[in-house]
Structure 1
């Protein structure tokens, strides 16, 4: 318990409901009592699994990033696959998670502003930094070998995540202004994906 790895049906439900409440309301606006009420247990029962809200947050953060980082690591380092194919698959992983948790991108932005050190410490506690380092080194090796264009890793990161998350961060605006008649938000996101792939491909393509 308390490590982001649910060990029982009740604990898994706690993490699920806490994830929903944290992402929808934010860390500050969500109380342990709120989480207990959504799960249908009392505070004592909740504290059996997670003694503090900070521990609860760590479990939520762990459940999210452990769905992402190992998969992203595996896809990105498939050096024999074309760049556009890898980018497309990485987007699918993120979009699958965002579909289940539409407020997740905004939640992560808020938490980086609220307490970045806490997020960073959680990453180190779960030993996830090794995946991030391996991804960066793998991309740098591809650049150095001439397989993809040399682009500063930080700018590649910022370009990709800006394109990836912008529709979700501005969802209300998109739904009010940009949706075509009869179009759902998920339809618009699906149509946006090829543009993201093309932008990253163009950024990394070796130019003759």
Structure 2
């Protein structure tokens, strides 16, 4: 590798990881070294989120099919019958490649191309947009899953953190900084919870 590029990369790395950027005043990276009693989160811990996310996807699929859909039917949530848009290659191409809600001038132009009244073209786009919208049962299943997930996540967080001093007094978060002891169970739950919120 070119020595200049190597030197530039090293300088950039040193600049990026200056402790002044990342740590409070008076703390350097030397203070953050691990020991037998002190362990810090590592970037590799994020890899734990991948199997957790895959497991959650499977759980969500099973939950929606086995619990949410039957509950939806039992509560009387029914999908409204939506009239389908008639097949029309010109309008479908415009819908897919340009926009789903054309302006009046575009409606007039499309009506001329299809030899249809403007009103029918406008109705076609309205029906086509309705086709893409999720059904009531799908919305119900999604809402049911989100409700269940957030309730479980909330109480799981309480169960993991309720006996920790920093849960009741935020000033305890800084006691002994930067040598606080990191509980592995807490670390895994927090990483998974944050990653899961991004997905779900």
Q: Give yes or no for TM over 0.5.
A: no
TM-score scaled by length of structure 2: 0.30
Pick 1 or 2: higher relative contact order, CA cutoff 8 A, min separation 6. Answer: 2
Question: How high is the TM-score relative to the length of structure 1?
Answer: 0.29
Structure (1/2) with the larger helix percentage: 1
